[in-house]
Structure 1
């Protein structure tokens, strides 16, 4: 009987955090591993290159993490930002896995550091990567190469051969690559403008909102495999195609790969107005790491998909400064003119806000008692009059990080067809993050999901390659 010759045991499609975690796990289990990264080597790592930290559960102080951040608090934070659109079982599995994975990450060259002073409120909840996401990606690639993982750059995959839910082969640049098992970790569709346009459609003003989106990360996440899986292979999917990790970023940011330095973090310290010089949401709703990712979507819903963050000199030094300086003016009417806003309406909005502020004990590190009264929308915390020149304004655009439409999974990370798990096809990272993130975001949780499910997928892909059944649940590590 002839034995089929496979090109590799485990094929990993993608080159970001989830893909690398899967590749390392599969290689540690003894599998031959081939990783296909669509980007050139210089742009490897996908959106993971732009990350900074990992949200971590812990019941007591742990190295760079202070105090405690127990499972229930983490879950409640996630529940609040998602509005309940999350799979609790999978979410709690990710949360628990986040408490012990750092030792494994360190083994593969990732180092951690305490948060910088500009990273407000996260010393207790988030472990920061020394050197940021680029250093993490480079460490994982070095470790993978050292362990013997074969890596091919500029190798996009455009289709898969699947029979009866079982992976057979992948096609890259006309080459058919066979493997005993496969992990899909090729990202969402955030850099596919056509798909974004299709998802968001045309609004009541006749605008196509997606035309004004800026992509915060990689230009290589086109969603080709995701669309192929959902449409050609009828894999089980979930999620709203308009839901995504979207942040309000500087309108001057580059179309791709601007990263975190283009984010505008002073929203909670002032007011935000649209192009009609009207406020449209509570800028002081909650701490910035929990609410910053709602602002991209809010701006996307405004006329022209643009808004303006307005602060005064009292805010300077209290937020992480972005890469571009704000527009500066000595008076508010001058600032309105420089921003191209109607001066009369702008001053009506600012005067109404300033007059409604009830200033108590201002504390930007707590949900303080500085709020507005008889104003809609209210500002519920950190409300202080904008009255101390010079004044600053930042034009904002929706910055899309990653999309939430994805493939449905269980705790084995298996791709499902007609609610039946594939025996040898698994998924991790952005392609399945919507199981945990139906909407909203909280800082660092994307890396928690990618790390947990990347490791699960890699472990189970190695087991499938060895003819063993998938194991349920997260990878166990020593705390």
Structure 2
């Protein structure tokens, strides 16, 4: 085992948005910072590589954001998707602080662009990164390195030695050797456990082996498990996660945001028996897209199928994979492996329940609904009649898990009623402190940015 010279004040574990915000903030406070990133350099950045926007409170126009988005409206949106399962104090802290984050992000190299149209028309609530998450990650790495932050890639942390109420030593593997470092402060920002499919299966049951992992294959929960085993306080339900319905042709790992399907509001969704199972038009997509992963997970073989017609094809951002196309519904059913008679019956029943489509409006709740249909479709309900017909297969795509490290408003971790004096957490590894269930588009980046900055500030203050 090789001991690294005792030259670092802070070790930041992880290399995504939260880790970088912590490292930059600590370095600006005068701390000597080491980032330990498990991934190779081309894959640095964790799930942040795949993000595209940041949800931000603002009292007036701010950067690319128009009009205003108040704390109360933001919190109300969060309550809708979480069903009230949130820590209100920490949630409001994240929301309030987000307004200060956007100019901070710009000052540290992040560039923004106008919001996209269609189902991602979020010009008032979400700021979109120019170059996406990869652009943000690269900007932060340039800033961190200019501040003297040292980065070790392919540095997999295996153990944090918890001695009484502090982390005494960090053990990791790098360049084929086991090494140790003894920083004054430690920030854990290494994500959830979603890439460990065995752990997912223990939580969810065998169905989890059919899930796809949207993000990095390196978030396996090694550090999270190590700390929980040593008694660091946990938060969250292991079955709760940010799970969305993605293209069933996506790879097992790292397919990213381009595999997401935004077409559900303009479709009907059926299972392998060609039966609908939920209201596709319940709410605008940024507020409801994250429920569909769990809905699909509950279906036979954890698979669903989107059915649309020609008039809906251009209303949403397409997946990286083209849809399956057919001139008739029976032909489409054959191509998708669905029972043709059952699919035709489901579509006929849906079409008969649709009313006047003249009020159809694709970017807002339009009240164009079905009548006498179970489950209903409460918005955007137009008959599926115009050939050619199209379909996408859907599978559950897990972004990150909510079982994590419980933190306080200073991002500090605890053992029982005592703080761990030199341990802070930020990002997905502590997001369960705020997200009990559900998800709101762009809120993960809010949590990571807010608590990354808090963790960096507190860790530097302790080290100094």
Same fold (TM over 0.5): yes
What is the SS of the residue equivalent to 1:18?
helix
What is the SS of the residue equivalent to 1:65?
coil
What is the SS of the residue equivalent to 2:423?
strand
Q: What is the aligned-residue RMSD (CA, Å)?
A: 1.0
What is the SS of the residue equivalent to 1:8?
coil
Residues 100-144 of structure 1: per-residue CA shift (max 9 Å, x gap): 112211121111111123453311100011100001000111111
Report how far residue 367 of structure 1 moved: 0.9
- Corresponding position of 1:470: none
Q: How does 1:63-142 map to 2 (within 5 A)?
A: 63-118=63-118, 120-142=120-142
CA–CA separation in structure 2 for the residues paired with 1:66 and 1:164 = 50
Report how far residue 359 of structure 1 moved: 2.6
In 2, are the aligned partners of 1:359 and 1:369 still within 8 Å (CA)? no
- Corresponding position of 1:184: 188
In 1, are the aligned partners of 2:274 and 2:338 still within 8 Å (CA)? yes
- Corresponding position of 1:265: 262
Which of the numbers 420, 423, 439 marks the counterpart of 2:421?
Answer: 423
Aligned residues: 455
Residues 59-84 of structure 1: per-residue CA shift (max 9 Å, x gap): 21222111111110000000110011
CA–CA separation in structure 2 for the residues paired with 1:6 and 1:340 = 61
Which of the numbers 338, 342, 357 marks the counterpart of 1:341?
Answer: 338
Q: How does 1:10-89 map to 2 (within 5 A)?
A: 10-89=10-89
- Corresponding position of 1:242: 239
- Corresponding position of 2:409: 411
Which of the numbers 255, 272, 275 marks the counterpart of 1:275?
Answer: 272
In 1, are the aligned partners of 2:119 and 2:285 still within 8 Å (CA)? no
Q: Runs of 4 or more off by more than 3 Å in structure 1?
A: none
CA–CA separation in structure 1 for the residues paired with 2:366 and 2:120 = 15
Which of the numbers 210, 220, 223 marks the counterpart of 2:221?
Answer: 223
CA–CA separation in structure 1 for the residues paired with 2:44 and 2:356 = 48
In 2, are the aligned partners of 1:236 and 1:419 still within 8 Å (CA)? no
Residues 124-166 of structure 1: per-residue CA shift (max 9 Å, x gap): 1000111000010001111111110011000010111111221
Which of the numbers 352, 361, 386 marks the counterpart of 2:349?
Answer: 352
Answer yes or no: is 1:161 the counterpart of 2:161. Answer: yes
In 2, are the aligned partners of 1:414 and 1:426 still within 8 Å (CA)? yes
CA–CA separation in structure 1 for the residues paired with 2:417 and 2:110 = 37
In 1, are the aligned partners of 2:368 and 2:380 still within 8 Å (CA)? yes
What is the SS of the residue equivalent to 1:135?
helix
In 2, are the aligned partners of 1:37 and 1:153 still within 8 Å (CA)? yes
In 2, are the aligned partners of 1:293 and 1:441 still within 8 Å (CA)? yes
Report how far residue 343 of structure 1 moved: 1.1
- Corresponding position of 1:473: none
What is the SS of the residue equivalent to 1:336?
helix
- Corresponding position of 2:327: 330
Q: TM-score, normalised by structure 1?
A: 0.94
Q: How does 1:291-370 map to 2 (within 5 A)?
A: 291-360=288-357, 361-370=359-368
In 2, are the aligned partners of 1:185 and 1:429 still within 8 Å (CA)? yes
CA–CA separation in structure 2 for the residues paired with 1:378 and 1:179 = 57
Report how far residue 266 of structure 1 moved: 0.5
